[in-house]
Amino acid sequence: MEETCDREFRRFSIEQETVKKLAENDSYTTFHQSGRIRAIAASLETNLDIGISGQEMELRRRRQVFGSNGLTLSLENNCKHPASLHFRRLISDSIKDSTVILLLCCATLSLLLGIKRNGFEQGILDGAMVFVVISSVVCISSLFRFIKNWINELLVSKRTSRRAAVKVMRDGRVRQIAVSEVVVGDVVCLQTGDQVPADGLFVHGKNLKLDDGDDKLPCIFTGAKVVGGECSMLVTSVGENTETSMLMKLLSKDDRINRQDYKESKLQISVDRMGSRMEKIWLSLSLLVIVVQVLGCFAWGDDDHDPEPKGGVRSTVKEIIGEVVTKFIRRQGATSHNRYVEMLSILVFVSRDGLLPIGLFICLAYASKKLPCFRATARNLPVCSSLGLVTAICTGKTSDLSLDHANMAELWIATDNSFIKSTSADVLDALREAIATTSYDEAAVDDDDALLLWAKEFLDVDGDKMKQNCTVEAFNISKNRAGLLLKWNGSESDGDNSVHIHWRGSPEIILSMCTHYLDRHGTLQTLDEHKRDAFNNFIRDIEANHHSLRCISFACKRVEQQNEEEIIELTECGLTWLGLVRLKSAYASEVKQAIEDCRESAGIKIKLILEDDINIARLIAINSGLILKPGAEDHSNGYDAAVIEASVFRSSSEETRSLMVDNVRVMANASPLDKLLMVQCLKQKGEVVAVTGMSTRDAPSLKEADVGVSIGERSAQFARDCSDIVILDENFTTIAANLKWGRCVCNNIRKFIQLHLTVNAAAFAVNLVAAIFCGEIPLEPFQLLWVNLIMDVLGALALAAPVSLRVQLPAHATAAASASPLANKTVWRNIILQVLYQVFVLSATQLKGNELLQVQANKTDLKAIVFNSFVLCQVFVLINAREIEALNIFEGKGLHQNPWFLVIVGFIFILDIAVIEMVTVVTHGTRMDLKDWCVCIGIAVMTLPTGLVAKCIPMP
């Protein structure tokens, strides 16, 4: 058996690459008429009627030569998540986290400090409570991560379970085998509901319809699903040799993709980075405070240090430190340092895996609920925000970007909007010849290209053929008109000595050169003054139409040449009016507006990647407004640099592509590989890239992009599995609307981040200042947990709901800004001013509350006032967060237009009153009177002008 496995099997008469080249760029009719498919089958030793031999040795031979199908292309193998980590492993990883290590250091030092000051038993008891809090935080965080990993794996397992069998023809019989058993040369029988198991060629069938929208027979590609009809397919590539698998292998070469099996969103990366930095700042400062306590406690104990230090700088420094430490230690309560560490544990929890993710989840969940309004469905929640970070989008020819020839132009014979079928053949022949003369103009503009494209489709005009059969005797080309004198080759031998004069250009100019016109029946009519006035009025009405881009009129004259020596002049009078063609805007104003919004308002780079030739691609780009006509904008690298052939981009080096990619807007004759190269190049330039696609061949690009967008109801399931969002429309306007909604979601998340950071930074700073100067922390750990709970949950809900879905595209998501999109400089400016205000006012209330407020309150009552003021401050911070930059938070989308926001703010007020009253009853404290409530509300209201002052500070 081992010898059989190791033997070298006989090769086939055709190589794998040769099969691929033979199948490229050809139609089904040409393929079969040339007999190429049977030639390929013969080279693969396949009988298209009975299939291949089913003997094990023959199958093994084919697998050795062409490879096995296996599961190398399976989406689950390319996109699958890592195995779920065990809960103990997650806890271990959490303990190794630098933030938790810092927290444990704080707890250890606090334990030592408690033992030193309160004795062994009391110190151990207090310290154990701190470690219990930290352990609870670690366990809950690990539990959240475990649940998230488990959900991800559950989704993958559902896709992995979809293992289908396939029918093949072997030895003249239809057999059902596993997909992994398919080999090159197999004749696969596909029916409705089957998934294509490998790349192949269409042999025969009826009414075949694939879900990937790629009906370019004879090639059928792996992963496509048969949604209608049936067919037989000759397998030409399997496993790693299929086109999609080859593209997938390019993904694995990219370190950015290979480093993680699960594609994290930009939002998650930004949140993790920001949270980690904030935690380290809090813990580092806190560790410093506790280290000072421990050093002071062990160095001087609870007694004063030497009151008579020796002179010198060294003694002076020691004296200063000693005074500070002694005063600080003596003011500390028995367990205040423990409560301080507990407070840090709460802050770490709400920032890492607790309430911050819950708040973000609320924002994203609300956003995903609104996506059906834009005919879209999110495959994962973070994509709602990722859409708002997009700085470049690579899209193909959507339904509203397709060039509809019927909408490109209108033909008018005389003053009648002509139907081609009812127009005389003589008139159409003359008009074909007149329009074909446009191809002689080397300085033709893009409108002339559009004219020729339309005429080729509807009038069967062939400019190249005319160039071969005619000779230009004379020409006259100016800005508003062009004339040519043509002579047909070989016309003398047919007895035809005529020379044809053709003029085209502005209707008014051409009309002034005419004395006759042809009606649609081919009858020559005299152009008298009455008719001329009617024509002029008709021309003015046509040009006044807002849909008109340009009107071109055609006139001709036939002159008999008596002999070869006679010189015929290109006359400008006595012409016959043939007709008028009105070039129209092929695209609706909504499409142009969507493109302008994305490009100009939002700064999103649009890359149009088409399979059409470069002339059609250029027309699509110009007519849709993707690129402007020469002279309309400043092209530093030339107008032609915006539209290129995909082969030029593909054959360039990485350095050259990196320089080209900024200027390229349209890529013609592109393949899926070209789209993938464009995406990778843009990502290397630091762009956040979105890609649209609908076919199986688009799957690698969708997977590579930061945001993969599957479009169309007929999009392939394989493409949907690789995408992040599915848009049922095939319109670019719908894609732009989803980008707008993404920007709105991103802005709402930024507002929530500002609220969350303000609450926690203010709480940390207030407690830190109070611990240093007062010896007590006014905000207890579970009070902070309560404030975070109501503000992160209810606050997120209040900020998540915009007033209207008709949002604008602010130009703030540039490639540089997208690296840190959540907490930018403007957000930090607002946070710092609010924190400084709250620290100053609340610390003053804690230290000198009786004197400043003219009240007689004990420490417990002052702490209640501080806590109540702190909670109310966050309510007004929530109101301030409605507008990050606008000075007036009440204009535009006013509060009265957003009833849910007012309801939530009112509910928070009610909860605050209820909690304060409940705590008073439980602790048997003094109830806050009206004066105390007025003081708290007055302190809180001042956060509004504080926010106004912050917004007046200019940011670079």
Q: What are the CA-CA distances from residue 47 to residues 220, 352, 797 (Å)?
A: 19, 63, 65
Q: What is the mean pLDDT of residues 128-136?
A: 75
Task: Determine the Cα–Cα distance for residues 691 and 18; give it in Å rounded to an integer.
Answer: 31
Q: What is the mean pLDDT of residues 840-845?
A: 88
Domain with CATH 3.40.1110.10 in the chain: 410-584
Q: Which two tokens stand for residue 720?
A: 């949907």
Non-local CB neighbours of 394 within 8 Å, separated by 6+ positions: 607, 609, 675, 678, 679, 682, 689, 690, 691, 692, 701, 705
CB 636, CB 603: distance < 8 Å: no
Task: Determine the Cα–Cα distance for residues 449 and 440; give it in Å rounded to an integer.
Answer: 12
> How sure is the predictor about 253, in pLDDT bands with cuts at 50, 70 and 90?
very low
Angle between helices 16-23 and 36-43 (to 10 degrees): 170
Q: What is the mean pLDDT of residues 859-872?
A: 83
Task: Determine the Cα–Cα distance for residues 883 and 747; give it in Å rounded to an integer.
Answer: 10
Going by the DSSP 8-state scheme, the letter that residue 626 receives in this structure is S
Task: Determine the Cα–Cα distance for residues 343 and 285; give it in Å rounded to an integer.
Answer: 13
Q: Which two tokens stand for residue 63?
A: 């697998």
Q: Which two tokens stand for residue 941?
A: 């209201």
Of the chain, the percentage scoring pLDDT greater than 70 comes to 72
Helix (H, G, I), strand (E, B) or coil at 462: coil
In the predicted model, is pLDDT for residue 503 greater than 90?
yes
Name the helix (H) or strand (E) containing 451. helix 446-458
For residue 263, what pLDDT is reported?
A: 58
Q: For residue range 657-698, what is the model confidence (pLDDT) as tens digits?
A: 888 898 899 999 998 889 999 999 999 888 999 999 988 888
Produce one character per residue of 497-513: b if its CB has 16 or more CB atoms within 10 Å, e if not. eebbbbbbbbbebbbeb
Q: What is the mean pLDDT of residues 729-733?
A: 89
Task: Determine the Cα–Cα distance for residues 267 and 385; give it in Å rounded to an integer.
Answer: 7
For residue 509, what pLDDT is reported?
A: 92
Helix (H, G, I), strand (E, B) or coil at 454: helix
Instruction: Looking at 24-177, list the stretches that DSSP marks H as alpha helix, in order from N- to C-terminal side.
Output: 28-33, 36-43, 56-66, 75-79, 87-96, 98-118, 120-160
For residue 168, what pLDDT is reported?
A: 94
Q: Which two tokens stand for residue 535?
A: 């024509």
Q: For residue range 188-205, what is the model confidence (pLDDT) as tens digits?
A: 999 988 888 998 888 888
CB 815, CB 688: distance < 8 Å: yes
For residue 409, what pLDDT is reported?
A: 81
Domain with CATH 3.40.50.1000 in the chain: 367-403+589-740
> How sure is the predictor about 715, in pLDDT bands with cuts at 50, 70 and 90?
confident
Instruction: Looking at 611-671, list the stretches that DSSP marks H as alpha helix, in order from N- to C-terminal side.
Output: 614-624, 646-651, 654-660
Q: Which two tokens stand for residue 574?
A: 């006595």
Angle at 159 between CA 154 and CA 163, to 5 degrees: 130
For tokens 């969708």, name the residue: 702
Name the helix (H) or strand (E) containing 512. helix 507-512
Q: What is the mean pLDDT of residues 603-623?
A: 86
Indicate the CATH number of 1-243 among 2.70.150.10, 3.40.50.300, 1.20.140.10, 1.20.210.10. 2.70.150.10
Q: Which fold has domain 367-403+589-740?
A: Rossmann fold (3.40.50)
Q: What is the mean pLDDT of the chain?
A: 76
Q: Which of 339-348, 460-469, 827-836, 930-939 has the highest mean pLDDT?
A: 827-836
- Smallest CA-to-CA distance from 396 within 712, 724, 682 is with 712
Task: Determine the Cα–Cα distance for residues 334 and 55; give it in Å rounded to an integer.
Answer: 85
Domain with CATH 2.70.150.10 in the chain: 1-243
**How many CA atoms lie less than 13 Å away from 107 in the CB half-sphere?**
22
- Smallest CA-to-CA distance from 724 within 225, 263, 147 is with 263
For residue 912, what pLDDT is reported?
A: 83
In this structure, the strands spanning 605-609 and 392-395 are parallel
> How sure is the predictor about 81, in pLDDT bands with cuts at 50, 70 and 90?
very low
Going by the DSSP 8-state scheme, the letter that residue 224 receives in this structure is -
Q: What is the mean pLDDT of residues 122-146?
A: 74
For residue 22, what pLDDT is reported?
A: 66
Q: What is the mean pLDDT of residues 867-881?
A: 90
Non-local CB neighbours of 652 within 8 Å, separated by 6+ positions: 660
For residue 123, what pLDDT is reported?
A: 72
Q: What is the mean pLDDT of residues 376-395?
A: 86
Better pLDDT: 809 or 834: 834
CB 748, CB 363: distance < 8 Å: yes
For residue 351, what pLDDT is reported?
A: 53
Q: What is the mean pLDDT of residues 344-373?
A: 70
> How sure is the predictor about 293, in pLDDT bands with cuts at 50, 70 and 90?
low
**How many CA atoms lie less than 13 Å away from 769 in the CB half-sphere?**
18
Q: For residue range 908-927, what is the model confidence (pLDDT) as tens digits?
A: 888 888 888 777 776 666 77
Helix (H, G, I), strand (E, B) or coil at 229: strand
Q: What is the mean pLDDT of residues 350-355?
A: 52
Task: Determine the Cα–Cα distance for residues 609 and 611; give it in Å rounded to an integer.
Answer: 7
> How sure is the predictor about 818, in pLDDT bands with cuts at 50, 70 and 90?
very low
- Smallest CA-to-CA distance from 759 within 862, 842, 682 is with 842
Q: Which of 35-44, 347-356, 441-450, 940-949 has the highest mean pLDDT?
A: 940-949
CB-neighbour burial class of residue 680 (10 A; exposed 0-12, middle 13-18, buried 19+): buried
Q: Which fold has domain 410-584?
A: Calcium-transporting ATPase, cytoplasmic domain N (3.40.1110)
Task: Determine the Cα–Cα distance for residues 63 and 40; give it in Å rounded to an integer.
Answer: 18
Task: Determine the Cα–Cα distance for residues 679 and 690; give it in Å rounded to an integer.
Answer: 8
Q: What are the CA-CA distances from residue 602 to residues 390, 562, 702, 864, 953 (Å)?
A: 10, 67, 22, 47, 25
